[in-house]
Structure 1
Amino acid sequence: MTAQASAQEPAAAAAAPKVSVADGIKDVMRRIEEASQRSGNKRTRLVAVGKTKPLEAVLEAYQVGHRSFGENYVQEIVEKAGKAPEDIQWHFIGHLQSNKAKALLQGVPNLYMLETVDTTKLADRLNRICGELGRETPLRVLVQVNTSGEESKHGVEPSEVTALAAHISGSCPNLEMAGFMTIGMPDYTSKPENFTCLKECRRKAAAELGLDESELELSMGMSGDFEAAIEMGSTNIRVGSTIFGARIYPNKK
């Protein structure tokens, strides 16, 4: 390769047309359908994660009929929800500090699901605030499970899952115990035990709560592993960069 050709490559890459958000949604939906056909799993919901992306990108997906969106940060989801159509089903998928629970629930009155409950303290606070705000329907919550054992990840230990699920179900009338969520290791494709672990947590909790396993959701699978997650029974996948492009974070000072 000549130096001239090498120098031209960045410019050529920059000039290449960007894939639109609408095309990203369509491509992911196609891959969901193919994975569902392989596994027989017909229940998967796509949560399009707009983390760090402008509201305009979310609305581009909305214009092609998508309605389920996820955000990681309280301030960001509050700002977007305040300007977005009311029929969007918002999912909060980031770690939630107890002292920010009220800001989240006040700022996003149509919050559809909170996927990251990992302590009884947080569950109790959410339950109390939902009551104070007069929320008409119970808030759907998932118990986040740390299935990989990585210290960098939030979530309850697998051995403590059933106790937390039982607490939410029995002591938090303003919450609906809807299922379980995990973040698999980056090399999930060769190590499926993270998702297997979440399925086992659901099995044990369902037996304790007297529920059929199908009544409890499994939120597992992101951009790099959502097809494998669907094949293992995921009912809820969280996909961001594959739809919206790589995230750009501001420089931290």
Structure 2
Amino acid sequence: MTSPLVAEGAAMTAFRSVMLRVHQAAERSGSKPERVRVVAVSKTKPVTLIQQLYDAGHRYFGENYVQEIIEKAPQLPQDVEWHFIGHLQSNKVKTLLGGVPNLAMVQSVDNQKVANHLDRMVSTLGRNPLKVLVQVNTSGEESKSGIDPSNCVELAKHVKLSCPNLVYSGLMTIGMPDYTSTPQNFQTLSNCRTEVCKALEMPEEECELSMGMSGDFELAIEMGSTNVRIGSTIFGPREYAKKQ
């Protein structure tokens, strides 16, 4: 079994390598590296590993499950900027917002019901307006969350115009698990941004694109991503509890 110290050292080495690759990809695309946010996705990983990256100066961390983020957040400094990136059910909104006061963004809003619940709960809890991204299903897979690209304008408009306690901040996609259609998925999201920004009369540079994970984040950055979600490349393979 790998010792915690070895795991921490490996995570730091991997993290530095990822940040270098991010900078290089941004430079290739003609973008400024500081415009790309790296969200370190710590799903199934212990707080000690997150703390290592925090101590090195990193502040952006993401989780996929409500229960996991509300358990980890109180154990870490309050200036961590947490991003919730998993599928969010409306009945978990209160738990999420109440349990993570320093939640910076929900990247996975995929319907009006969830947007409305988030909007009301932010108001109820007296929180500052919450940044959200609209999740788009660019791959067309039934198993994937996200709104159909043809409906992205409608949902973005609802968030921006009808949810005063939310800040519409852009679009997110997951894409195919084997990366076979990565360029098409990224182009679809970019096209959605163009349509949304035209409809909302907002500059495209104010509309984030969250696309790219461990296997394709460099291409995502080259195609305009401002937010990449990187888990296993930093922290190693996810460790799920074995069923008895």
The structural deviation recorded for 1:105 is 0.1
Give 4+ residue runs of structure 1 displaced > 4 Å after superposition: none
> In the alignment, what sits opposite 1:59?
51
Q: What is the TM-score of this pair, normalised by structure 1?
A: 0.91
Query: In the alignment, what sits opposite 1:196?
Result: 187
Report the Cα distance in structure 1 between the residues aligned to 2:24 and 2:91, rounded to whole angstroms. Answer: 42
Per-residue CA deviations over 1:178-204 (Å, capped at 9, x if unaligned) read 000001213436641100000000100
Q: Percent identity?
A: 58
State the match for 2:15 in structure 1. Answer: 25
Is the CA contact 1:35–1:231 (under 8 Å) kept in the aligned structure 2? Answer: yes
217, 222, 239: which one aligns with 1:231: 222
**Aligned residue-pair number:** 239
CA distance in 2, matches of 1:172, 1:182: 22
1:37 CA drift (Å): 1.2
Greater displacement, 38-47 / 174-183: 38-47
Residue 36 of structure 1 corresponds to: 26
Task: Give the match's secondary structure for 2:75.
Answer: coil
How far residue 164 of structure 1 moved from its aligned partner, in angstroms, is 0.3
CA distance in 1, matches of 2:140, 2:129: 31
1:22-45 CA-partner distances (Å, limit 9, x unpaired): 111111000001111111122111
Counterpart residue number, 2:39: 47
Q: Residue 175 of structure 2 contacts residue 181 of structure 2 at CA under 8 Å; is this kept in 1?
A: no
Instruction: Write the mapping of 1:155-166 to structure 2, written as runs, cut at 5 A.
Output: 155-166=146-157
Max Rg structure: 1
Structure 1: 5+ residue runs without aligned partners? 1-10
Which residues in structure 2 correspond to 1:195-214 (within 5 Å)?
Answer: 195-214=186-205
Name which of 161, 167, 170 aligns with 1:176: 167
Distance 1:191 1:104 in 2: 30
Which amino acid is 1:41 matched to?
S
1:83 deviation in Å? 1.1
Counterpart amino acid of 1:170? L
- Distance in 1 between the 2:193 and 2:178 partners? 23
Deviation by residue 1:109-140 (Cα, 9 ceiling, x = unmatched): 110000000000000000000000001x2100
CA apart distance, 1:252: 4.1
Q: Secondary structure at the residue paired with 1:201? A: helix
Q: Evaluate the alpha carbon distance shift between residue 152 and residue 46 of structure 1 in structure 2; reply closer, same or farther with a 3 A threshold.
A: same
Partner of 1:139: 130
Contact 2:41/2:61 (8 A) holds in 1? yes
TM-score by length of structure 2 reads: 0.94
Please state whether the residue corresponding to 1:218 is helix, strand or coil: strand
Q: In the aligned structure 2, how far is the partner of 1:220 from the partner of 1:168?
A: 20
Correspondence for 1:90: 82
Q: Structure 2: which 5+ runs fail to align?
A: none
Q: RMSD across aligned C-alpha pairs, in angstroms?
A: 1.7
